[in-house]
Structure 1
Amino acid sequence: MRVAVAGAGLGGLCLAQGLRQAGIDAEVHERDPAITARFQGYRLVLNPVGFAALRGCLPPRWHPLLDAIVGDAYGERLVLDPQLNRIGELGPGRTGIVVDRHVLRHLLLTGLTVHTGAALTGYDVLDDGRVRARFAEGAPATADLLVGADGVHSAVRAVLSPPTVPADTGVRFVIGRTPLTERFAGLSRAFGSKIAGDGVSLLLGAMRFRTPPKEAAEQLAPEVTLPDVRDYVRWAMILPPGGSPGVRGPREAALSMMADWHPDLQALIEQGDPDNSALLSIRVVRPRERWAPGPVTLLGDAIHATSPTGGNGANTALRDADLLRRCLVDAAEGRQDLIDAVADYERQMFEYGAEAVQHSLAALPAFVPDSKPQRG
């Protein structure tokens, strides 16, 4: 069996690793010109399902390394004012495993065949039931299954399910990261909490590695090369609905809303990494009607993109990867026909994927002043 994966995000790479462990030929095609074309180094919180799915797709010999390079999520989930005074609660404290996307992506890339500069332009289902993916540059790829793991603006989805399109929530946010120095360690009470300002919310999360990733790889898995990343604070500011900051950069956009805020909060944004901050829109993709069974399917944000306020986007993509891996192993070992195996994956994925999107939208109003629950 041969599988072609479009998209080198966490979900697509996790699937490719899982198939590789099972002896199934899998190649990844990424539209970016290089793996490092975009820095993707934000902190993610993995719940037990997402973390178990990730471990299930990685070779057991890497499990000690994975355990060494993650951190622990904890926090009171308070609501604080801009001077860091407690004014409410968001709900029960959140626990889980925190990972750095940049580090995890490098781990997942290890040993895989990844073709960069491979922007998918379409695909054809051949007479023998296989699928041929076409790219703007380079030779086409023929496989038994094409998996669209190519994000919110999926080129695979555009062909497979044209009615399924992204929906813009109208919410904008700025995201960035700042080294976790001694000064910012004093903000620990704010990690996991919401800082409620005048029409904006600031969310902070600490990424503390159990072991520095580069050192952990050298000690536990020398065949893996991980970046030299140190502890940091991930920050995200939800901007006023419909607002458009008339400033030049993401850090300036955040600072323009923080004139009277606590000096440590202002300094946190001022000292943010200029190469790893961005102004983004929150768009979601809801699974719609199922397409006809065939040798093409979707995974992750390509079919169920969630609002980041739900904290379940990466978890759901990893769950997809592990579920599809298990279904494809059944097909490769003759326990199920390939098309039936893919249909079994899609049936389950559509159900929990739709629930994940709705959960994330229901959580959005708690972080956006004067907003109402999103419905759909």
Structure 2
Amino acid sequence: MRVSVIGAGLGGLCLAQGLRGAGIEADVYERDPAITARFQGYRLVLNPVGFDALRGCLPSRWHALLDEIVSDTRVERLVLDPQLNKIGELGSARSGIVVDRHVLRHLLLTGLPVHTGAALTGYDVLAGGKVEARFAHGDPVTADLLVGADGVGSAVRSVLSPRTTPTDTGVRFVIGRTTLTEQFAGLSRAYGSKIAGDGVSLLLGAMRFRTPPKEAAEKLAPEVTLPDTRDYVRWAMILPPNGSLADLTPQEAALSRMDGWHPDPRALIEQSDPDNSTLLSIRVVELRERWAPGPVTLLGDAIHATSPTGGNGANTALRDADLLRSCLIGGKDLAGAVDDYERQMIEYGAEAVRHSLAALPAFVPKPEQV
């Protein structure tokens, strides 16, 4: 069996690792001109399902390395005012396993055939049941199964399920990262909590490695090259709906909303890395129509993109990868395996989107605050 995976995000790479570990040929096709063409990394919190799915797709020889580059976290989920005083709670405390997306992506890339500059333009299901993928540059590729793991703007989904399109929630946020130093020790109470300001919400999260990733790889898996990433704080400021940034940089946009705030969160934004800061919109993808069965399927954000406030986007994509791997190696014919995967994935994926949207209002500034 040969599988073509479209998209080199976490879900697609995890699937490819799992398939190749099971002896199935899997190639990844990425539209970006290079793996490092754009920054793709902030901290993620994995739940037990997501973490177990990740381990299930990785070679067992890398499990020790994975354990060394993650950390456990437990946060109180408070609501703080701009002076960092407690004024409420977001809900019960939450635990999870924290991992850096950029570091994890490099681990998942190890040993995989990834074809960059491969923007999918379409595909055809051939008479014999195989599928041929076409790209803007390069020759077509034929496989037994084509997996669209190409994100919210999925080119695969636009052909397979054209009525399933992203929905823009109207919510915008700026996000960045700042090296974690002793100066920000006093912010630990705010990690995992919401700082509610004048028409904005600031969310902070700490990424602490048990061992710096580069050092851990050199010691535990020399064939793996990981970036020299150090402990940091990820910050994200959710803006009022339809707010204008007036051509400000992400740091300027955040600081313009922080007059009179405690000096520590202001310093956190001021010292952030401008190359790793950006403005993002919150879009979701909900299935509009079930596509006809065949040798093409979808995975991750391509079919169930969630709001990040649900904390389940990466977890669900990794779950998809492990489930599809398990179905393909489970002994059924290809059609039956893909059907088993899709029936389960569509059900829990829809629930993940609903959960994330239900969590969104707690983080979005209220109109009367603006």
- TM-score over 0.5 for the alignment? yes
Q: Which residue of 2 aligns with 1:374?
A: none
State yes or no: 1:346 paired with 2:342: yes
Per the alignment, in what secondary structure is the counterpart of residue 27 of structure 1? strand
Give the AA of the match of 1:358: R
TM-score by length of 2: 0.98
Q: Distance in 2 between matches of 1:261 and 1:246?
A: 22
Deviating 4+ runs (over 4 angstroms): none
Q: Which residue of 1 aligns with 2:289?
A: 289
Per the alignment, in what secondary structure is the counterpart of residue 253 of structure 2? helix
Shift of residue 305 of structure 1?
Answer: 0.1
**Superposed, which structure 2 residues align to 1:169-248 within 5 Å?**
169-248=169-248
Per the alignment, in what secondary structure is the counterpart of residue 175 of structure 1? strand
Q: Distance in 2 between matches of 1:367 and 1:280?
A: 15
Q: Distance in 2 between matches of 1:37 and 1:200?
A: 31
What CA deviation, in whole Å up to 9, does each residue of 1:144-169 have, x standing for no partner? 00000000000000000000000000
Give the AA of the match of 1:117: G
Q: Distance in 1 between matches of 2:181 and 2:75?
A: 19
Q: Distance in 1 between matches of 2:75 and 2:164?
A: 37
Q: Distance in 2 between matches of 1:15 and 1:128?
A: 25
Mark the runs of 5 or more structure 1 residues left unpaired by the alignment: 372-376
State yes or no: 1:95 paired with 2:95: yes
What CA deviation, in whole Å up to 9, does each residue of 1:283-333 have, x standing for no partner? 000123211110000000000000000000000000000000001112xxx
**Superposed, which structure 2 residues align to 1:259-274 within 5 Å?**
259-274=259-274
What CA deviation, in whole Å up to 9, does each residue of 1:258-301 have, x standing for no partner? 01111111110011110111111100001232111100000000
Of all paired residues, the percent bearing the same amino acid is 83
Q: Distance in 1 between matches of 2:200 and 2:248?
A: 18
Q: Distance in 2 between matches of 1:278 and 1:234?
A: 12
**Superposed, which structure 2 residues align to 1:74-93 within 5 Å?**
74-93=74-93
Q: Distance in 2 between matches of 1:48 and 1:113?
A: 29
Give the AA of the match of 1:35: I
Q: Distance in 2 between matches of 1:248 and 1:132?
A: 44
Q: Which residue of 1 aligns with 2:13?
A: 13
Give the AA of the match of 2:288: R
State yes or no: 1:309 paired with 2:305: no
Q: Distance in 1 between matches of 2:178 and 2:193?
A: 17
Give the AA of the match of 1:2: R
Shift of residue 370 of structure 1?
Answer: 2.1
Give the AA of the match of 2:293: P
Mark the runs of 5 or more structure 2 residues left unpaired by the alignment: none
Q: Distance in 2 between matches of 1:279 and 1:369?
A: 17
Q: Distance in 1 between matches of 2:141 and 2:92?
A: 48
**Superposed, which structure 2 residues align to 1:113-192 within 5 Å?**
113-192=113-192
What CA deviation, in whole Å up to 9, does each residue of 1:206-226 have, x standing for no partner? 000011000000110011000
Q: Distance in 2 between matches of 1:192 and 1:199?
A: 19
Shift of residue 76 of structure 1?
Answer: 1.0
Shift of residue 72 of structure 1?
Answer: 1.5
1:287/1:353 contact within 8 Å kept: no
1:208/1:232 contact within 8 Å kept: yes
Give the AA of the match of 1:355: E
1:175/1:235 contact within 8 Å kept: yes
Structure 1, 286-295 or 158-167: larger mean CA deviation? 286-295
Backbone CA RMSD of aligned residues: 1.0
What CA deviation, in whole Å up to 9, does each residue of 1:146-201 have, x standing for no partner? 00000000000000000000000000000100000110122100000000001100
The equivalent position to 1:336 in structure 2, one of 324, 332, 336, is 332
What CA deviation, in whole Å up to 9, does each residue of 1:94-115 have, x standing for no partner? 1010000000000000000000
State yes or no: 1:257 paired with 2:253: no
Q: Distance in 2 between matches of 1:227 and 1:186?
A: 28
Q: Distance in 1 between matches of 2:71 and 2:236?
A: 19
Q: Distance in 2 between matches of 1:38 and 1:21?
A: 28
Q: Distance in 1 between matches of 2:132 and 2:244?
A: 42
Q: Distance in 2 between matches of 1:288 and 1:193?
A: 34
Per the alignment, in what secondary structure is the counterpart of residue 233 of structure 2? strand
1:49/1:315 contact within 8 Å kept: yes
Shift of residue 246 of structure 1?
Answer: 1.4
Per the alignment, in what secondary structure is the counterpart of residue 39 of structure 1? coil
Q: Distance in 2 between matches of 1:225 and 1:88?
A: 43
Give the AA of the match of 2:136: A
1:180/1:231 contact within 8 Å kept: yes
Q: Distance in 2 between matches of 1:282 and 1:108?
A: 26
Per the alignment, in what secondary structure is the counterpart of residue 56 of structure 1? helix
What CA deviation, in whole Å up to 9, does each residue of 1:323-361 have, x standing for no partner? 00001112xxxx211011101100000000000000000
